Structure 1
Amino acid sequence: MDKKQERHMRKFGLIGKNIDYSFSQSYFAKKFKTEEITDASYQNFDLESISDFPLLLKDTSIKGFNITIPYKELIIPYVDKLDKNAEKIGAINTIKFTKKGKLKGYNTDYYGFKKSLTPHLKPHHKTALILGTGGASKAIAFALQKLDITYTYVSRNATKENQISYQQLTPEIIANNTIIINCTPLGTYPDVKACPNIPYQAITQKHLLFDLIYNPEESTFLNYGKQKKATIINGYRMLELQAEKSWSIWNK
């Protein structure tokens, strides 16, 4: 690549912590190659602390970011404006630089989740358990609201309304909530044997288990569901959809 081309390169990237495993970098590299997009690159920005974020802004060729664990909420004070859905969710995973050089935050996680879940829903899928209360879980809750599905958060410490702790989780509660979504990192490579501590014996073929994890393809959480003949979905399609939505936001 000559210097002239280099000057006109648009840079995009993922902000997170310990993100070597990340899907985004390889996904966009493949996309750029397949679609012959020659003026864009995508890289990981592994930040030890969110306070390092302003240093990235010195590079004027950067046109957009994705954000992952643990910064989806912590990065909000650094943006100038939020898209209306991102404001309602309270977490962002996409930042666009506006024409005026301002930073605008979006959430494409909820879009990716909603679109990947919808084809699998049956009439009896009315209530859900969301395992975890981090930034990703907020987007999941927002999508469930849009789908008219009632949900309850499950966390280590139930401190808010609409939350229960893992200790309070009974087989009856599992039986009554036919959608269970894992928003925790438990089971991610390399710690593939880990999984949320729930009463798996109460899962039936009426259940739908969705894991935001995509590496491994079938987490221990999903494997337990498969053994009970439940519908199981990993996070890969959701990631593809949210990545494409991010790309359309950056380029519109």
Structure 2
Amino acid sequence: MHWQPDPNLHSVPKLYGLIGYPLSHSFSRKYFSEKFAREHITGCQYELFPIESIERLPELLAAYPNLQGLNVTIPYKQQVIPFLSSLDEGAAAVGAVNVIKVEGTILKGYNSDVFGFQSSLQSFLQEHNTQPERALILGTGGAAKAVRFVLQLLNIPFSTVSREPQEGQMGYEEVNARIEQFPLIINTTPLGMAPKIDSCPDLAYDKLGTGHLLYDLVYNPEITEFMKHGLSRGIPVKNGLEMLYGQAEKAWEIWKTPAVLTAKK
């Protein structure tokens, strides 16, 4: 379904929403609608804006001068950057945006995935009282960029694996021969996500042991095939649900805090 302006939304004092395409299901709308009701936040509404091209963003903004903030999802986390006035440090470093703060004609981009993943990963590592010597990132997309940024912040060396490895990346065959060297394995690919729940990254799972930790950014289903491989071997696992809630709360904090502009990088 393509987005068309809805005149009924003009009466909402403060409008928020999600841009992406397609938007068949949305955690964000459910989350913020429930948050507004639970916390008695009045005059706010969260809607989905399935714009079929990022070129329609100016049209969307013009249609709703009451827009205060947007979440950004696939495929626009990188495509949206040229439309923004500035980026915060995390978004600039990662090269991907999932939150936009709208202040008149000023659009500032943020990456709350960084906050969500960092807080979730740190609690996972603290829970198991470990600081891994090395991590393996499965995938090379926008989510992988946020993961790389956080691992750098936490001083955890990492390697990246891809089905089509570029310079500086590993292929699955190469990494499977050395899988024991990566105690922390993070899946940033959509493999295993509903509805294709039977898929998983092509790892040598039989070589994994209790010295490993598996983190899956996928949260639907809550137990992925990747995680099942770990659980069957007594390996601690975690999904992306806590990260998802963390990034959503960070988005709300961003929207409610006065912006400090920085130069776009």
Same fold (TM over 0.5): yes
The Cα offsets for residues 188-230 of structure 1, whole Å up to 9 and x where unpaired, read as 1111111111111111112111111111010111111111111
Give the structure 1 partner of residue 212 of structure 2.
Answer: 207
| Counterpart secondary structure, 1:237 | helix
In structure 2, how many angstroms separate the alpha carbons of the residues matched to 1:55 and 1:153? 38
In structure 1, how many angstroms separate the alpha carbons of the residues matched to 2:174 and 2:79? 29
In structure 1, how many angstroms separate the alpha carbons of the residues matched to 2:162 and 2:49? 29
Whether 1:246 aligns to 2:255 is no
Give the structure 1 partner of residue 203 of structure 2.
Answer: 198
Q: Residue 123 of structure 2: which of 104, 119, 123 is its match?
A: 119
What residue identity is the alignment partner of 1:125?
A: P
What residue identity is the alignment partner of 2:211?
A: K
Unaligned runs of 5+ in 1: none
CA drift of 1:8 comes to 4.8
In structure 1, how many angstroms separate the alpha carbons of the residues matched to 2:10 and 2:20? 25
Whether 1:24 aligns to 2:23 is no
Alignment of 1:1-252 (within 5 A): 7-58=11-62, 59-98=64-103, 100-121=104-125, 122-161=129-168, 163-171=169-177, 173-252=178-257
What residue identity is the alignment partner of 2:239?
A: N
Runs of 4+ in 1 over 4 A off after TM superposition: none
The Cα offsets for residues 104-135 of structure 1, whole Å up to 9 and x where unpaired, read as 00011011001011122143512111111111
TM-score relative to the length of structure 1: 0.92
| Counterpart secondary structure, 1:247 | helix
Sort the Cα spacing of 1:10 and 1:124 in 2 relative to 1 into closer, same or farther, 3 A. closer
**Root-mean-square deviation (Å):** 1.8
In structure 2, how many angstroms separate the alpha carbons of the residues matched to 1:175 and 1:69? 33
In structure 2, how many angstroms separate the alpha carbons of the residues matched to 1:188 and 1:230? 20
Asked whether the 8 Å contact 2:90–2:114 carries over to 1, the reply is no
| Counterpart secondary structure, 1:55 | helix
- Greater relative contact order (CA < 8 Å, ≥ 6 in sequence): 2
CA drift of 1:70 comes to 1.9
Unaligned runs of 5+ in 2: 1-6, 258-265
In structure 2, how many angstroms separate the alpha carbons of the residues matched to 1:107 and 1:146? 15
Q: How many residues align?
A: 247
